[in-house]
Each structure stands twice: as C-alpha cells, then as structure tokens.
Amino acid sequence: MSNKEAYKRLCDEIWEHNWHYYVKNAPKISDYAFDKLFEELIKIEAEHPEWISPSSPTQRVGEMVSGGFSVEKHQIPMLSLANSYSPEEVTEFLNRIEKLLHKQNITYLTELKMDGIAISVRYEEGVLVRAVTRGNGMEGEMITSNIRTIESLPLKLRGNFPKVLEARGEVYLSKTAFETLNKQQEKSGKPLFANPRNAAGGSLKLLNPIEVAKRKLAISFYGIADISPDAPTTQYEALKLLQKLGLPIAGEFKQCHHFDEIWNFAEKVEKMRPTLPFEIDGIVIKVDELGAQKKLGVTGKNYRWAVAYKFAPERTETVIREITVQVGRTGVLTPVAELDPVLVAGSTISRATLHNEDEVMRKDIRVGDSVFIEKGGDVIPKVVEVNKAKRPKSAQPWEMPTRCPACDTPVMRSEEEVAVRCPNRTGCPAQELKRIIFFTSKSGMDIDHLGEKIVTQLVEMGFVKRLSDIYELTAEQLFQLKNFKEKAVQNILSSLEASKDVPLGRFIMALGIKYVGAETADLLAERVGDLEKVALMTEEELLELEGIGPKVAEALVTYFADHDHQDEITRLLENGVKPSVQKVVGFQDHLFRGKTFVLTGGLEHYTRDHARSLIKERGGKVTSSVSKSTDYVLAGEDPGSKYEKAQKLGVKILNEEEFLALL
C-alpha cells in the first residue's frame, strides 16, 4: 500500500477496533485479525516514516522522560469535592443548592466516584497534545508520554471532534491489573502497593513509558474543562459527547430530579460495588446545568455545585488462622490477626492489628474464627466483628503471652494503661529493630531510600545493631544487600549525608522517647533550644514548660539518664549529625499570636510540619486535641473526629484557602 490516504484509513480502522475492544468491551474482529492489521501498519510506516503522525496507533509509547516531569499551570483550576457520609448530609447539599439558586426542581447528575488519580487531557484538532496531573489544583506535572500508553485512551478523537477539547478524568488500575502488578512486585522482591490508587499514582511517576505501558493503566472521564466550539449546556450532554468522541467513562451515570432518585442510584451502585472491575468509594452528585454550576462557583478549594457521597468502608469475611504478637519500639506487645488473604477495598489483606489484649477480650476474637474485615477510612485493615455462628467448636479464648516473644523477658502490665510491655529496653531485638525503623522513617530522620525492608535486612545481616550504626554504613556493606547495585547504594549514602543537618525537634522525635511526639519535641527545641540543655533538665524544670506533663517529664529524665542513650547520642553527633534550632521569623502582632490551632485531614499546599511551623512563626501554637480553648481547626481532605468535635463546640474551621488568606 503506497497511498497515503489508504494508510490514514488503516489507522482509523485500527483505532475503531481499538475503541470497540477497550472502551465498548465488544470486539468486532479476533485478536489474530487485529494483530495482522497492526503488523501491516508497522510495515507501511517502516517504508514511509515520513507519514507517521503522533496520532498513529503505533505511537503509544514515546521516549523516556529525562530529568523528571515539567510543571504546567492549569488554565482552569482542578479543585476537589466536599464529602458527605449520610442521607442527611446529601439532603443538606440539595437544600443548599435550592437556596443559592432560588429555585426548586433542579436536575442533578449522579456518577461513580472513581478511586484514581485526577488528570487533565487536552486535544487540539482531535489529536492528544497534553496531559497534566491535578497536582495542587493550580498546577500539575506534565505526564503526556505516560498517559499515551493507556490503551483505552484514544490518541485521536472519533467523529466530528471540536477544535479544542480539554477533558478531566481519573487514571486507575483495574482490580485484575492491580493483582497482577503486585504478584510481579512480590516475585521481584519489591514492596507491594497498598491499593490500586497508590499503584496508579506510582505508575504515572515512572520516567520510562515502556514500564508504564506494562502496568495496564485505564482511564475514565468525568467532565469537560474547555471546549471550542459548541460547548454542551449540561453535564449529561458533556458525558454523552465524551463517549461519542471515543473517550471512556466507567460505569453508568444518571439524571436525577429529587433526593429519592439520587438515593436509589447510590444504593444500587453500593450493591454493585464488590462486583465492579475497578475500585470506587462512592458516587458524585452534580448540578446538571453547566450555567448553574458557573453561577454557584467554588468555596475555598471545593466546587459548590457538587458533592461526593462516600460509602461506608467495604467489609469482607475471612478466617483468622493465627494470632501473633508484635513488639513495638517502646516495648508494647500488640496482637495481630494472621488471616486467609482476602481482597478488601482494593487491597489484599492477610494481617490486621487487634490493637491490644482488652480489644481481643471485648470482641472475643479466637483463632479459627470467621471475622468481618474492613479498612478504617479505606486505609488501615481492622477486625470489626466475629461471625460466631461459624465458630469452630475447638476455638479457645486467646491469651496474651506472659513472656516477650522476641527476648523471653517476663512482660509487665501497668494499671495506668491498657498496654502490656516488654521491659527489656536495651536487650530486646524486636524493640531495637522497631526503634531503628522509626529513626530512619519520615517521622524520624526522614532518610530517603532507607525503608523498613532495607533496614530489616541491615539488622539481620548484623550491619546495624543500634541507631548510630546507620551513619557508619559503608558502600561495601550496602552492596551485599539483595538486588543492590551502584545507583541504589549511592542513593542511600547521599540520603544519609543529607539527613545529618536536622532540626533539633525532629532529632528529639527520632530518638523514640516514650510519650514524646512531634509537638513535644518541637516545644523542647523552641523553648530550650539546645540538646545538651534538654538532656540535663530535671523533672521540675521540665514541668515549668507549658505543655509538658508529669509522664513526659519523667520519661525525658529517665531517657537521658541512661548511659547507653548518652553514648548513642554522642556517637550520632560524632558521625556528623547536627541537630539545630531553626531561626524563627518574627511577626509583630499577627492575627495568630496567642491563638491555638488543631490540624486535621490531608493538606495539599503544605505538609503538617510546614503548616505547624508557619503557625508558630506567627506566634500561634498547635495542639493535638480540640477543646473549648481551641481557636481554629485547619481542616484538609477527609478530616476525622477532630472536625466533628470542632463543629459541635462551635470552633472556627478553616479550609486551606482561608488559612492562606489569614497567613
């Protein structure tokens, strides 16, 4: 075939079959016939490379990205959705919309809430030209080369396409693709992904599109950000147009006219949830008329015209095969249920914490029991209930061991707390391993590339026996780790060096002192300002500091009086660790001066530590619990019980945009 027009028709034919296969799930020809067409296309392009366009079906996988992804500003911000969790909250949303629009009988559109990574994809003259992640809502990373690898995404639109189209969607992994990926990770000795969303996000960050293509990502679109000409007038029309142009939309969507119709849709989808081939965590309710959406606008970082209704955590039944006991860094013994592996909310769960002995007794959890598992906030797996109708006759009540499973030391029970502890602080290998893992973690010294599995290897091989050994690691030792080559070794050595310059508060936190969290560590750094002075303070002196109670004061004095701890800190300092107090920028008479803040939920523009430091720079303080004396609660995504308590107490709640304005 030497005719260029015939070549273009072949491209279109292949795209048509591709669409029927990946989007409609209704192939028109066999895989063999499709492969023959594709082989013909490759042959033609080899003979006429000048004919190849970016929209050719052969051009899915591009060149490897060098130097990381560039940052691109969104012309139209990508904001987030407010959440609702009950029929009452959905009703409140509907009433609020009627009030704001000054009318009733409003049409809404209900859609599935995909649990994926939000992106914006732009087509010009029908050809895909750009794809950008949501990022912070204002700007994101340009990931066009990786998005092109998604088989269900057309590189060229179907039919009579608009001159310009920017569509918003979610990249996700199907349940099957996720299971396959984790099997590959396990086979390669790499860490497993926690859930499909994390796996999709990690895949989009890969710099090699060939590797991205292997992950089998999928995409579903939910709206139009920009179109020219002939924009639709409703959300329903927008989704129909996207489908007509060949863009995939996962699951059904429905126009609804009142609460009952919306709720029927929600209940129907929730029943379907376990059988869907992909993960969802709820439905989205939108005002259907796009003109009304524009009129309603936004509030803070959320759209005022839409809300997500989040389903309750997914629950699955499985069997407890064993109850093991883990020993934490402070010596606390924690019972853990070893389960028959089961898929819960997108993750394969084989273990779940049982928290403490009292929890096991209260729920009467036994080895052999059939239990219901759910993930709290769709993140942490937990045993919520025993199915006693299926309890084996041989099942016996569980008892906490009387000796530490790691070092055989008799355990201690305190009347002041529920916890059972191993008192062997310096000789228990399990405690030492957990302390070292915590020391290197993000909450501790934040040493990149030194995760839990690598630290465990280092301890098992005898290279690391205490905290200071971390900074005495050599390249020769690291090369002995499984699958470690030059780049991995250099990454760790560079990260170790970079972590030595550490704020004093973070260093105190990393030491893992009982009862000392981030706020207490920061308080000591700010009020005392010197590690040696902190180590020499008496309980009386510590109690004079606002925010330090008797338990914390006693724990600090006990820790720093221990000769092993003194030697360890000396070795860390000799190895180049330099804890320093960060200079605080002065703000005269700032609004935050003397105000008490509580932080809750995930923040987009800042880390928790950064937000805390900004508040403190301006004379405010941050506490961990909400009370009547709290002035502000800064609430991010998915806030928890602190948000609800603030509402009940009438405490002022700030979203990030309001916080930015007050800064």
Closest CA to 617 of 606, 627, 625: 606
pLDDT winner (highest mean) among 15-29, 164-178, 438-452: 164-178
Q: Which residues are catalytic?
A: 113
Query: Where residue 1 falls among pLDDT bands split at 50, 70, 90?
Result: very low
Instruction: Map tokens 């045993």 to a residue.
Output: 383
Where is pLDDT greater, at 519 or 579?
579
Instruction: Give residue-wise pLDDT tens across range 379-397.
Output: 578 898 999 999 999 999 9
User: By three-state DSSP, how is residue 386 classified?
Assistant: strand
Question: Phi, psi at residue 450, to the nearest 5°?
Answer: -120, 70
Instruction: Give residue-wise pLDDT tens across range 56-103.
Output: 887 776 555 545 688 888 988 888 888 888 899 999 999 999 999 999
Instruction: Give residue-wise pLDDT tens across range 402-435.
Output: 999 999 999 998 777 778 999 998 789 999 999 9
Which residue ranges form the domains of the chain, and what is each CATH number? 4-51 (1.10.287.610), 80-310 (3.30.470.30), 315-413 (2.40.50.140), 429-499 (1.10.150.20), 503-580 (1.10.150.20), 596-662 (3.40.50.10190)
Neighbours of 602 (CB within 10 A): 11
What is the predicted pLDDT for the residue at 300?
Answer: 66
- C-alpha span between 633 and 648 (Å, rounded): 12
Instruction: Give residue-wise pLDDT tens across range 271-315.
Output: 998 889 998 989 999 999 999 999 999 876 789 999 999 887 778
Strand order, beta sheet including 164-172: 127-133, 117-124, 164-172, 218-228
User: For 321, which DSSP code?
Assistant: E
Residue 208 has pLDDT above 90, yes or no: no
What is the predicted pLDDT for the residue at 363?
Answer: 93
- C-alpha span between 13 and 7 (Å, rounded): 10
DSSP 582-643: PPPPP-TT-TTTT-EEEEESB-SSS-HHHHHHHHHHTT-EE-SS--TT--EEEE-BS--HHH
Cα 264 vs. chain centroid, distance in angstroms?
Answer: 30
- C-alpha span between 600 and 577 (Å, rounded): 32
Q: Of 194-208, 210-224, 478-492, where does mean pLDDT reach its minimum? A: 194-208
Closest CA to 201 of 278, 283, 119, 144: 119
